[in-house]
A = this chain, B = another copy of it.
Amino acid sequence: MARVDRSLVTHLPLFAGVKPDDLEEILREARSARYPKNSAIFEQGADAQSFFLLLHGHVRAAKTTPTGEQIVVRYVAPGETFGLATAIGLAHYPATATAVDDSIVLIWPTAAWPRLAERFPSLAANTLQTVGARLQESHTRILEMSTQQVEQRVAHALLRLAKQSGKKLDQGIEIDFPISRQDIAQMTGTTLHTVSRILSGWESQGLVESGRQRIILREPHRIVVLAERSADSGAA
């Protein structure tokens, strides 16, 4: 099996506090794979046979209801893990993972987790921290959905995406992977129609520039203001 280039992963928070030799040992158990744009990595409900570290590209994790509605749980950026079902004690994946761009991942077999976690406490501790961070994010999202209107929620969602996966351009910050109105709707608990209306409005005010699966934040600061403004404060 091809050796993984350590320089890509050494400085990830996931491996903070792991000694180089130990890291070597951890990486020896992984293989790497490439997923082309729009290909499925795993399906909700399938046996959790592996867990993943994204090296390159972007992955969308989405959860589907029995009746077919979907929500986007999160977008995975390079350097982040996903598919940790095993680590948190699930036999099946709770969501579906899809590459939204050509992506390269490291893959560990589920069976390797217990040994790795016991042998490398830093790895377990780091994983606990990332899962905890995701829990915080979920709570924040619940708080927003409970207390804010759609426009604010969309603003927050885009700002978060920009921070996580934004590419700085002269004209502003571009979300660095293809994302549709529908995706944003599924991140914010609304419909693609409403998202479209909101972005149209922003576009006419020069706040964003957007097109087919593409969004550029032209005036991030003014969007921050939008995101934080309380329900009443009206517009012109």
**What DSSP secondary structure best describes chain A's contact surface?**
helix
Distance in angstroms between the alpha carbons of A118 and B134 in the assembled complex? 22
Known: A139-B94, A142-B145. A133 touches B89 (CB 8 A): yes
Q: Say yes or no: is A121 at the interface (Cβ < 8 Å to chain B).
A: yes
Q: Mark A120-148, 1 if CB is under 8 A from B, else 0.
A: 01001101110111111011011101110
| Contact, CB under 8 Å: A87 / B132 | yes
Report if A128-B65 is in contact (Cβ < 8 Å); known contacts: A94-B136, A141-B142, A142-B138. no
The CA-CA distance from A105 to B142 in the complex, in Å, is 27
Q: CA separation between A67 and B127, bound complex, in Å?
A: 33
| Chain A 90-106 per-residue mask, 1 if CB under 8 angstroms from chain B, else 0 | 10001100000000000
Binding site for B on A (CB under 8 A): 63, 65, 67, 69, 71, 73, 84, 87-90, 94-95, 114, 117-118, 121, 124-125, 127-129, 131-136, 138-139, 141-143, 145-147, 186, 189, 230
